[in-house]
Structure 1
Amino acid sequence: MKRILPFLLVLCILLGGCSTAKTNDKLKITTTVFPAYDFLREIAAGVDAELNMLIAPGMEVHGFETTLEDIALVSSSDLFVCVGGEDDEWVENIPETETKIVTLSSMVGPCEDDHYWTSPKNAITITEKLCENLCDVDPENAATYKENTQKYIEELKKLDSGFAETVKNGKTNTVVFAERFPFYHMANDYGLEYHSAFEGCSTETEAGIKVINQLIETIEKENISVVFTIEFSDNTVADRISSETGAQVLLMHSCHNVTEEEFESGETYLSLMTKNLENLKIALG
């Protein structure tokens, strides 16, 4: 996400093109990314609320640019949830508003890898904190939020246990990614060792011959049966490694965003992470 210039915000307000006032009494919640959107959807189930997600399904998250309409939507919301960190510096330029603004980074602690939700342990913490914030802005429905949160966390705990048991019982704890690696929190919390084409969430898209050969060597040396790819990838590197080693290509979804098809078909954080767990079981043996 790129920082929007402050003078554009001022211009927007002066022209009256972006109203920051709420137009009705319905609770309005806005998020930037899919995980926060999905957590809030679960927490606020049954409550008459408007839930918005700035980064549309299918959009490349790291190429997202804030629009004046986005600023207006945030400013007219009761609660705005973003990831925090460098990508969300534009939030600092939002005009004075009554909107309660919270970041995921403040809930679990800042980290170079801001894909906090890839660990179900963090997802539990985030869900609890989101519930607290919803109760603050809408105390009338606090009982519903707390009940929904309790039920949802039970499902997240099952997911957490599943990842822990899978790594504990696996024949190996090493995974190979033919992509960037937005799974630091998963690896750190469950004891996974990893090798990837790019460090963290690098903006690089083409792996060099040396990197590819190193991954091939790791797979052959450690007898690894799976090479992972991530969402929105064209699988070029993964397919090449697979052809050289016979390793199966499987998806590990970071959940940072979903495709339009995934969104329309009702995919959720839980459903995507459950698929991740099943693929991890195959990879670890």
Structure 2
Amino acid sequence: MFNTDPERPRRRFSRRDAIAAAGGLLTTGTAGCLGSAIPGDRSASSGVRAEGETDTATGAGDAPVVVASFFSFYDFARHVAAGTPVEVRNLVPTGLHGHGWEPNARITREIIEADAFIHVGPDFQPWADRAIETIEADGADTDLINARAGIDLVDLAASLDRDEEGVGEQRGKDPHFWLDPNRAMRSVDTIAEGLVRIAPDHEDALRANADAYKRDVLERIDAAYRRIFETADRDVVQLAAHNAFQYIGVTYDVRMRPLVVNLAASGDVKPTDITEAKRVIDEHDIEYIAAAVFETRRPAQQLLRETAVDAYFPVTPYAGVREDWVAEGWGYEEIARRINMPTFEVVLGNAVPEDVGPDGWADQWRNFE
């Protein structure tokens, strides 16, 4: 089903049947990492657009157009494509996680009209799977770039039901691999290969950009994370968030304790989960905890009331962006350095909140709404 054959003939203007079929393709629903929309959301110039806008995936002239189903891989692709005619667009609206969002049929038409579609592999985003089925049934020539191809996934956390959620043929595997900068490098290479297929005249620039991004961004993020976790006296982080951070724990040898133990950001917090979190907080003298940006803060606020925790600070699995982040042009790197890293420094006890992040970080993010 997920054909990425680079030798497939290109037929840029032969997509009418697929576009027509897309009209009845998508249905609404929710699943997985679902976040909350930001009121008044509109997209900024970075390529992130709100659902319902009417532009198509046709680029300027014959410039190749690439659309992505998930923010992290959109961001990787835009850095790989920098300085070339390749245009990269994020399909997921600002303020939403890319996992559980269900778009309308216009998004499928954009995918079909694009030269390439970056997705996260089968059974992660049902709407993306359905779009791919339409593309392949029609024989349309949108190149399919599976950002998960060749990635070594880890098992789901022991607390999870192995049948609860999986990824494609790898049931029982954790899909959040991009939180590990080392695995993210493999995705950057895969994306670069896909962009070379649709823009072969710019191969040298695309490959050079991919190498530079891995070296100057992902390797440095990896080094920064290692410093944070290796210098910490504590090896446990209490998260008022869903189970999306296991790759951080596996890669840097730290125990990530999610309050929502399943993979769904909308999952219920059980009384037993609160009780266990209180035990961890008490046992490890935890003063600060981490709360997810795109999830409800009610559990974090409950722990604030019922334990010795002084405050909660933000974390995110890079699955979406806020409106102000888009306005500032933030990507994977900026989110790592301005959101996750300062919070990990604080919750591990490496530094007090006022000494991390940019000026005003602690005031902005302490017990954020």
Superposition TM-score, scaled by structure 1 size: 0.87
What amino acid sits opposite 1:102 in the alignment?
Answer: I
Structure 2, unaligned stretches of length 5 or more? 1-16, 24-55, 154-166, 168-172, 350-369
Alignment match of 2:86 (pick from 44, 49, 68):
49
CA RMSD of the aligned region, Å?
2.4
Closer, same or farther: CA 60–125 of 1 in aligned 2, 3 Å: closer
Looking at structure 2, the residues matched to 278 and 215 of structure 1 have their Cα atoms a distance apart, in angstroms, of 22
**How many corresponding residue pairs?**
273
Q: Does 1:268 align with 2:355?
A: no
Which segment is superposed worse, 228-237 or 108-117? 108-117
AA aligned opposite 1:173: D
Q: Which residue of 2 aligns with 1:99?
A: 142
**Structure 1 stretch 248-257 or stretch 70-79: which is displaced more?**
70-79
Give the partner amino acid of 2:286. Answer: I
Q: CA deviation at 1:239?
A: 1.7
Look up the match of 1:248.
Answer: 311
Query: Which aligned pairs between 1:1-285 and structure 2 lie closer than 5 A?
Result: 12-13=20-21, 24-86=61-123, 87=125, 88-90=128-130, 91-94=132-135, 95-109=138-152, 112-154=173-215, 155-202=217-264, 204-243=266-305, 244-275=307-338, 276-285=340-349
For residues 18 and 295 of structure 2, what CA distance do their matches in structure 1 show?
38
Aligned partners of 1:165, 1:59: CA distance in 2, in Å?
Answer: 31
Q: Matches of 1:21 and 1:123 in 2, distance apart?
A: 26
Q: Check whether the contact 1:113–1:200 (CA below 8 A) recurs between aligned residues.
A: no
Aligned to 2:356: none
Structure 2 counterpart of 1:143, which letter? D
Residue by residue over 1:133-178, the C-alpha shift from the partner in whole angstroms, topping out at 9 and shown as x without a partner, is: 2112211111111222222112210110111222122111111111
Q: C-alpha displacement at 1:278, in angstroms?
A: 2.2
**Cα separation, 2, equivalents of 1:14 and 1:172:** 51
Q: Deviations over 1:226-250 (max 9, x none)?
A: 2111121231111221232224301
Give the SS at the match of 2:188.
helix
Contact 1:177 1:194 survives alignment (8 Å): yes
Instruction: Give CA-to-partner distance per residue, 1:78-112, whole Å, 9 cap, x none.
Output: 22101123124322333321111022221414563
Task: Tell me: CA distance 1:22–1:34, structure 2 relative to 1, closer, same or farther (3 Å).
Answer: closer
Q: Which runs of 5+ in 1 are unaligned?
A: 1-8
What percent of counterpart residues are identical? 19
Q: Partners of 1:175 and 1:128 in 2: how far apart?
A: 31
CA distance in 2, matches of 1:216, 1:65: 35
Bigger helix fraction: 1
Distance of aligned partners of 1:260 and 1:107 in 2 relative to their CA distance in 1, 3 Å threshold: farther
Q: CA deviation at 1:60?
A: 4.2
